[in-house]
Structure 1
Amino acid sequence: MFPGATADRDPASYVVVGAPLDATTTFQPGTRFGPDRVRRFAETYDDYDHATGSHFSALGVHDAGDVHPWDDVPAYLDHLAAELRSVTYGDAIPLLLGGEHTVTYAGVDAVAPDTLVVVDAHLDLRDEYGGNPWNHACVTRRELDDLGVERAVIVGARTGSEAEWDRATEGDVEVVPPADAGDWIAEVATDPDTLGGDTYLSVDIDGLDPGFAPGTGTMEPFGLTPREVRDLVRGVAPHAIGFDVVEVNDRDDGQAAALAGKLCREFVYRHADAAAHDGD
């Protein structure tokens, strides 16, 4: 169980769902261990958040366990999307713990956002990788082309194929490189209309510099700092209808999982605080 996720399912405001998919990782596998590892390394965090004056255990978080994958990735994603959609039917926010980044497709399918904000080192705009359109390197492309997401903002991107960079010039994609992330985060904080409607927030842990989060499959230097990603999560959370953190594996001493668990908690604290003050 995710620490502090003590609410019953029916009255819950947030539902944690693990998706330990590890089918298409292209360098270092191990994302199948991600959800349990995130739960484990979140155990040391205090329940009380001084910034919002709230207790995590009082915010209505339920842990529904894992949706275990099988070999047919598209079928698994359809099933996972149905499980996450059932969360929204109860007026709760799904909190998805990956698993490889492909699972974000199910989260986006379940909540149907206008905008996808994704923290990622990679553009993930390939139409296929190694002949597989469901590879984790294709997930943002699938969400744009197949699910009809109106706009994707990729924060922290610093690598991609030539074809991906060409796709990123189209009007439905905005790339925010690491050097510009602080300005973009500040803009969202002062003008939420920057997001353009209901938003799904996905954090690929490799968006952070691997010096901070080495436990991931495809490390890419010169990335974001933990504080930058924390501030991004704080700024986007009040306007988000779904959240995930993905691509954590077991190839470090817990640094990536600890960050992932902390970012999940930051999302809940800030989303709940904004909901409590809505209309003030």
Structure 2
Amino acid sequence: MIALLSAPSNLGLRPPQTGSVPGCAKAPEALREAGLFRSFLDAGSIDAGVVLSGRYAADWVPGEGRVRNQEALVDHARRLADRLGALLDDGGSPLVLGGDCSILLGAGLALARRGRFGLVHVDGHTDFRHPGNSSVCASVGGEDLAAAVGLHWPRLADLDGYGPYFAPSDTVHIGCRDNDEELHEATALLGATMPTSHVRSAGPAAAADRAVAVAGRGSNGYWLHIDVDVLDPAYLPAVDSPDPGGLTPEELTELLQALAPGAVGAEVTIFDPDLDPDGAYARLLAEVLAAGLRDLGAASGN
């Protein structure tokens, strides 16, 4: 059974402008208003509630070895992991509605507590910035994949001694653009990387088949991370960092339909309702997610 869990955190993003806070924490309720929850509830899913995050500090000052909102972010990751663990123990297939990409730490911790799991990271960026390749690490929303595979500072990448949450060899990235700054490094370290150009040339179903083969190899299943900036901004510009060259809604739907059944759970991130004044993008996204994730966990055995 799919369990909808809201995780409205904006802790991993930079302020959109001085003194302001990112709007992606509003995404779960914007998607509820757009009909996403009703689509799943009518099909037999349950509403598993919310894991609230701490206060965002818009006036954060960078410091050595620290990211913005670090204490609140770590606390949220632990509490999200606890809730996800309970849902998985009950046989549910969690669908986490974020929030920014830092919620991957909570999902990773929950799964690492249970054993070895793979990760399929669908995102318009590799999110592979880390202290080994950058001197400006500050916002986990752009560093989540690096942290999830153990490359970030231990305070993020090794919570409670469970890092890396996913082995690099069990991890697949799908959806970055060909000019992504960390694509070469990610390709060298991860089990597979497939930029948008590859997805389009091979076809979404073939890309998904390859991802499942890698992320499910020798593991207990895989987690599915979906940053909606994988969509081209011509269709969905209401995200933190829109970049041209993304997938169409039809391509993303087909990709998710192939990935969702084998996943033990999934998370959706980065949609910003502050950039969607009339709700049109929320309605489009609700349609894509309802169609793409309707069979989440159906073949995972959970």
Q: Tell me the TM-score normalized by structure 1.
A: 0.80
Q: 2:222 maps to what in 1?
A: 199
1:125-204 mapped onto 2 (5 Å cutoff): 125-128=128-131, 132=137, 135-145=140-150, 146-149=164-167, 150-158=169-177, 159-161=179-181, 164-182=182-200, 183=202, 185-187=204-206, 194-197=213-216, 198-204=221-227
Match of 1:21 among 9, 16, 19: 9
Indicate if the aligned counterparts of 2:27 and 2:271 stay in contact, CA closer than 8 A: yes
Q: Tell me whether 1:67 sits opposite 2:51 in the alignment.
A: yes
How many residue pairs match? The answer is 253
Cα distance in 2, alignment partners of residues 141 and 160 from structure 1: 14
AA of the residue aligned to 1:21: S
Q: Tell me whether 1:30 sits opposite 2:23 in the alignment.
A: yes
1:82/1:131 Cα in 2 relative to 1: closer, same or farther (>3 Å)? farther
Cα distance in 2, alignment partners of residues 27 and 224 from structure 1: 26
- CA drift of 1:228 comes to 0.8
1:6-155 mapped onto 2 (5 Å cutoff): 13-26=1-14, 28=16, 29-42=22-35, 56-57=40-41, 59-71=43-55, 72-112=72-112, 114-128=117-131, 132=137, 135-145=140-150, 146-149=164-167, 150-155=169-174
- CA drift of 1:75 comes to 1.4
Cα distance in 1, alignment partners of residues 222 and 44 from structure 2: 21
* Structure 1 unaligned residues grouped into runs of 5+: 1-12, 48-55
- CA drift of 1:216 comes to 0.9
1:193/1:215 Cα in 2 relative to 1: closer, same or farther (>3 Å)? closer
Cα distance in 2, alignment partners of residues 90 and 267 from structure 1: 24
Root-mean-square deviation over aligned CA pairs: 2.7
Q: Tell me the TM-score normalized by structure 2.
A: 0.74
Q: 1:265 maps to what in 2?
A: 290
Indicate if the aligned counterparts of 1:73 and 1:134 stay in contact, CA closer than 8 A: no
Cα distance in 2, alignment partners of residues 74 and 44 from structure 1: 27
* Structure 2 unaligned residues grouped into runs of 5+: 17-21, 56-71, 151-163
Q: Deviations over 1:61-83 (max 9, x none)?
A: 11122211014111111111111
1:70/1:190 Cα in 2 relative to 1: closer, same or farther (>3 Å)? closer
Q: Deviations over 1:13-35 (max 9, x none)?
A: 11111111112323632111111
Indicate if the aligned counterparts of 1:178 and 1:223 stay in contact, CA closer than 8 A: yes
